[in-house]
Amino acid sequence: MYARSTTIEAQPSLIDAGIAHVRDEVMPALREVDGCVGVSLLVDRESGRCIATSAWQTREAMHASAEQVRPVRDRAAQAFGGSPTVDEWEIAVLHRDHSSGPGACVRATWLTVRPDQFDRAIAFYRESVLPAIEELDG
């Protein structure tokens, strides 16, 4: 699977409106796009940083959707009062133990790995990090 993330430095007073826009407009629109398998939104209310991520079955589906989702992304950025920065990723490991509910939080950790170490880093995450996380409450 692949992901396209859109990072927006939102105006704090517009974060709730932006969340509602993603829930009510972006998610339904992307459900209709071939190859899209889901959308998530991370929000840091203190900094205003918001990251909306769409997941795609294949790299080809993600790239084929680029022009179709551009206006959807632009309207979301307007709702948050910021401008979008777009990145594309391969989803190397996907693990969802349970659905999140209202008030759920996330801790995201960004790593930079040399290309010749990708396979080793992914294996370490799968074999060591995920089992340790699964043991945590919540």
Which of the residue ranges 4-18, 25-39, 89-103 would you say has the lowest mean pLDDT?
A: 89-103
- For residue 52, pLDDT over 90 is answered with yes
| Average model confidence (pLDDT) across the chain | 90
- Residue 125 in 3-state DSSP? helix
* Sequence-distant (≥ 6) Cβ neighbours of residue 72 within 8 angstroms: 25, 26, 29, 30
Q: What's the rounded mean pLDDT across residues 27-50?
A: 94
Model pTM score: 0.83
* Strand order through the sheet with 49-56: 36-43, 49-56, 2-9, 84-90
What architecture does CATH give domain 2-134? 2-Layer Sandwich (3.30)
Instruction: Judge whether 63 and 33 are in contact, CB under 8 Å.
Output: no
pLDDT of 80-117, one tens digit each? 999 999 999 998 887 776 667 777 777 777 788 898 99
What pLDDT does residue 111 have? 80
Planar angle of CA 19, 41, 137, nearest 5 degrees: 115
Q: 27 or 103, which is more confident?
A: 27
Q: Compute the average pLDDT of residues 59-83.
A: 96
